[in-house]
A and B are shown apart, each in its own frame.
Chain A
Amino acid sequence: MPDYDNIPRGLPKGWRGCAKAAVQGAPFLAQKLHHLTAREINRNPQVKEAVGLLEELLPQLQRIAAAPVGERLTAELELPRGAESTRLKAAAVQCAERLAVGMALGDPSTADPDGLREQLYRDFCLAIPRINAFGPLLTVGVPFPYEDVDRAQSALEACEALLEESLGVTAAQLAADPEACKVKPVKAPVLPKPTQEELVQTEVGLDLDALKVGE
């Protein structure tokens, strides 16, 4: 996620307000989106496609991880046909590229090849609010240039309402205890089948069980 710590002084009023709202909103929006992602995967064909693409790119990332460091920066990610034909798939490609950058330039979080899948999914989940994937409301989670603080604030409130409606929890509850409101996997999508070991649960509450192939 972008760095929100340093809101520059001297910004126009609306911009500064927006940035502030983004700072306040980002942490729980990120948490919320993990859950929304799990939920959306179960019913959104575009998400299914994107997750399928993540699975296709994963072996290539593992190959890059195994390559000498000097070759990783230019190692080609061979994209399948139509790899960027929806925004979510383009986001998946971007996440894979980011991971490849990390591997090439010595990001310690990419040092463990076995953790690549988790890294990839986590980055993809975080990308969803960033790319505006499920609607303009969610852009409040990033320093998007909304023109005034009121609009940003109302968007934030609408997000909270959406959250409550979708998950039956308040933003405050979620912020306090993300584990308290796990989404129950509904119907599993058709995806390449991960092993039980691969179905890890991330620290912020993303339930990768939701990605599980049907019974």
Chain B
Amino acid sequence: MTKKSQIVHQYTDMIDELKQQRAQSDALFASLGDGAITTDEQGRISRINHVALELLGFKESELIGQWFPRAIVAVDESGKKISPMERPITRAFLDGKHISEKMLYLTKSGKPVPVAITVSPVFLGDKPVGAIEVFRDVSLDHEIDRMKSEFISIASHQLRTPLTAIQTYAHLLASGFKGSLTKGQMEFMEIILSSVDRMNNIITTLLDVSRIEAGKLSVEAKQIDVRELCSTIIYELSQSTKDKNIKLHYAALTEPLLVTTDPLLIAEAYSNLISNAIKYTPELGSVNVSIAVQDNGVLLTVKDNGYGIPKHMQNQIFTKFFRASNVVKRDTTGTGLGLYMVKQIADALKGKVWFTSEENRGTMFYFWIPQ
């Protein structure tokens, strides 16, 4: 075989191999259960699979070669169009990072479909050559969420009625309405009443969560003094710190700190963070609370030297019903809704919540709201 025919042979083999790889990637792309779209380095659609076409109601020929952010329109929850620069596909290009987000895509007929998307930039060496977006229709997830919230709301109301009767009659007995109780009977009565209280609190939290998820969490801003609010919450929680022998230190400001915000929501968030710190700190531990003006807002800091959050669970801590494994072993009474509520409240008040934590060393939570 001459040298020339040897080179031709090698090239033919390489081309065959490339064709085979292309066929494999085409088959993989076509068989994805989610919608998938690839673009070139200028954001023009180069490939689109049948799931994406079916979901969006387009023909392949209507999209190939079109600029992605213009061809497929995205809107936010309120129906406002998301500009091309804000689209994940553009940001993934600019930042060179993977992006996962939820939004609504408009089909060819203009119907909004909620989707969960992931965009990854494609690099050849250091050079960006395109992007791939995979997306999934989450309408069913939304519907299930709505039904779940409705169920929680109805169930909670129905549970409250018999619970009110138990509570009212137990109070009547405890206050000697049908004769005075012995010390032992009184102790049992107190157990009944505190259990009813616990159940009432769980129901109230469930109702709050279902209300948030139904989008009914209305913010009614008023001017309040957060220094005083913090003192009140700490006073209310002082009994639980005494029971556990925990030192609760509040570095109160010397002056009132006035903020225009929703008093009920902020109280719920502060109370959740401080009571969590007490709950997840062992006996003889300490909890330090402080508030300060920072970045045109108010920052609450709650530091404890308690159980901490295991590193591998830290990204789930604000998820609904989530409870870290190290605290589940120690305490069985939590609902896993407290921090979820705090996060929802932070979002509703246009604030932020974050933390640093080390297992068995403690946790520091930060809650910031604009002033």
The answer to whether A and B interact is no
Chain A contacts to B: CB under 8 angstroms: none
